[in-house]
Chain A
Amino acid sequence: MSKFTQSDSKSLLSRENQDKLLNGAIWAAAGITILFLLWVVWHILSNGLSHVSWEFITGAYTRIGEASGIWAMIVSTVYMVMLSLAFAAPIGIMTAIYLTEYAAPGSKLVQVIRFCTESLAGIPSIVYGLFGMTFFVSTLGLGFSILSGALTLAMLILPVIIRTTEEALMAVPMSYREGGYALGSSKIYTIWRLILPSALPGIVTSVILSTGRVIGESAPVFLTAGMVTQIPDSVMDSGRTLTVHLYKLTQELFTQHEWDQAYATATILIVLVLALNLATKVIANRLNKSS
């Protein structure tokens, strides 16, 4: 007892003041985080929202002239998201199922796959772009196309999907598996009807987060899908996604009109990402409630 009171009296601040200081620091940190977020969103929206119009969203892009739009970029972005998810989601989810449900825990193979996915997740996206440009665009001869871009982005988001799906599956209580197997259910039925539905909110979240990642990438996209500002007729056509478009616009900001276009594009991107995050919340809540 005496030991504690002694050290208390020696310290510069009383225990109570230490508490207050720490509390203040935590509140300040939280406040700064929120402030920055609001500031960025406000900055983009206040500069961009007034230039977003129906014509801007649905119009064709022209380099000169006032009536320029981003419809082609929106279409390219949607293609890119759907196609890259179509490649990465099934492979990623099945890999995660293998790792958590089938592979012997701690086996060499599991360790190797984990190491690979963790390393892949840390590689700068531009490196994926370089790889995609060499392999998909040239070697496989897919050219600068939505397909090349989607394959490159699929590689990029694969580790994210595997990791988050794995976590969602591991969060499913062991007692569900035991309960399922104790009834004589097969492994595949138990996984399909019991484990996967329980992990669904987490899996959906992981897929939507990956969507955000696909929308957000620029460098690996223009290295593989090119920058053509037309609506792609097929996945073999080049296309410019919204983020690439914004990057391109900021490279040549000469007139006020070009600034306005850049901010308007950024506004669309921010609204998209916020909508995605909101959708994640709503879907995860729904799925949680229904179970």
Chain B
Amino acid sequence: MNKLQVSNLDLFYGENHALKDISIDIPQRQVTALIGPSGCGKSTLLRTLNRMNDLVAGVKITGTVAFEGEDIYADVDVKQLRMRVGMVFQKPNPFPMSIYENIAFGLKAQGVKDKKVLDQVVEDSLRGAALWEEVKDRLNTPAFGLSGGQQQRLCIARAIAMEPEVILMDEPTSALDPIATHKIEELMDELRKKFTIVIVTHSMNQAKRISDRTAFFWMGELVEQGETQQVFNNPQDSRTQGYVSGEFG
């Protein structure tokens, strides 16, 4: 079953035609990796899926993005959408507050005040992000005290606290060292059981390791998509062939 369905999507930043006639299906509870060289449009596509591009002035979008069959650019409550389609950013962006308050932020924004509920969600989310054991004794200390890898797992915990159905990840390990990266990749293997994941990555090895499906972007075009094994081992397009074999990009 397809969680998200992008059809004939074109996106313009002013005059710049950043995405050209993109159509892609994102299946449920799988990891879909978006790969391609810098500036190919993969992050831009990711940000259309939860309408984060709304924050950028001068963006024009045509085509449809359907979330469970409903066009998210039609009459949809963006806040509801973003609760169901969470996001983790390239650079860990904990808020300047305690670990606990970071996780509780999204729920409190929805008016949840019950301490018991919040306590439970904070614990569950931190467990879900494999961070609980490391921080359970210092939940009320500033999140900035955590290491980069821990901060990124905190951001994942903050996202799953909203019980989203989809998690978008924009190069979530590009600011992390190999050990922290490994931990996040392990975590993603757990997350795929519950969530639909779309990840933008620069690392082809990462895409190979963690994704079920891969889509290759080139200069705003979706060149090729399919099972990860097939895209890497038996690419149909010569540009995909060149990129995954490391000839360019």
Query: Are A178 and B109 in contact, CB atoms less than 8 angstroms apart?
Result: no
Residues B86 and A193 in contact, CB atoms below 8 Å apart: no
With A183-B159, A184-B80, A185-B79 as contacts: A193 and B89 at CB distance below 8 Å: no
Residue of A nearest to B88 (CB): A182
B214, chain A: closest CB distance, angstroms:
24
Whether a CB of chain B sits under 8 angstroms from the CB of A189 is: yes
Which of A179, A185, A190 meets B89, CB within 8 Å? A179
Contact residues on A (Cβ < 8 Å of other chain), bracket: 20 to 34
Interface positions, chain A 187-214, Cβ under 8 Å from B, are: 189-190, 193-194, 197-198
For B45-85 the 0/1 string (1 means CB < 8 A from A) is: 00000101001010000000000000000000001111100
Interface residue from B80, B82, B91, B142 paired with A182 (Cβ < 8 Å): B82
Give chain B interface residues in 1-52, CB to chain A under 8 Å. 50, 52
**Interface flags, B129-151, vs A, CB<8A=1, else 0:** 00000000000001000000000
Q: Give Cα A140 to B81, complex, Å.
A: 52
B93 at the interface (CB under 8 A from A): yes
Q: Are A178 and B95 in contact (CB under 8 A)?
A: no
Q: How far is the CA of A190 from the CA of B80 in the complex (A)?
A: 15
Q: Is A173 an interface residue (CB 8 A)?
A: yes
* Chain B neighbourhood of A177, CB < 8 A: 55
Query: What CA separation (Å) do A190 and B106 show in the bound complex?
Result: 10
Chain B residues contacting A106 (CB-CB under 8 Å) are 57
Enumerate B91-106 residues with CB–CB distance to A below 8 Å. 91, 93, 95-97, 105-106
A115 at interface by CB-CB < 8 Å: no
Tell me the minimal C-beta distance from B108 to chain A in angstroms. Answer: 7
Q: How far is the CB of B59 from chain A (nearest CB, A)?
A: 12
Task: Determine if A39 is an interface residue (Cβ-Cβ < 8 Å).
Answer: no
**Bound complex: CA A184 to CA B112 (Å):** 14
Contacts of B105 in A (CB 8 A): 180, 183, 185, 193-194
A181 and B82 contacting across the interface, CB-CB below 8 Å: yes
* Known A-B contacts A181-B82, A184-B79, A184-B82; A291 and B142 likewise in contact (beta carbons under 8 Å): yes
Minimum CB distance partner of A175 in chain B: B93
Contact B55 A186 (CB under 8 A): no
Does A253 lie at the interface of the complex (its beta carbon under 8 Å from any beta carbon of B)?
A: no
A132 to chain B, nearest CB (A): 39
Within the assembled complex, what's the spacing in Å between the Cα atoms of A171 and B82? 25
A residues near B110, Cβ cutoff 8 Å = 184
A198 adjacent to B93 (CB under 8 Å):
no
Q: How far is the CA of A282 from the CA of B89 in the complex (A)?
A: 34
Are the C-beta atoms of B109 and A189 separated by less than 8 Å? yes
List of B residues within 8 angstroms of A175 by Cβ: 89, 91, 93
Q: Are A185 and B93 in contact, CB atoms less than 8 angstroms apart? A: no
CB contacts (< 8 Å) of A194 on chain B: these are 95, 105
**Residue-wise interface mask of A (71-111) relative to B, using a CB-CB cutoff of 8 A (1 in contact, 0 not):** 00000000000000000000000000000000011100000
Known: A189-B109, A193-B105. A183 touches B91 (CB 8 A): no
B55 and A178 contact, CB distance less than 8 A: yes
A172 closest partner in B (C-beta): B96
Contact A176/B80 with A182-B87, A186-B109 known, Cβ cut-off 8 Å:
no
Q: Are B158 and A183 in contact (CB under 8 A)?
A: yes
Nearest-neighbour CB distance to chain A for B98, whole angstroms, equals 10
Closest CB-CB distance, A154 to chain B, in whole Å? 31
What are 20 A-B interface contacts by the 8 Å CB criterion? Answer: A175-B93, A176-B93, A178-B52, A179-B89, A179-B93, A179-B95, A180-B95, A181-B52, A182-B50, A182-B87, A183-B82, A183-B159, A183-B162, A184-B82, A184-B83, A185-B79, A185-B109, A186-B109, A194-B95, A291-B142
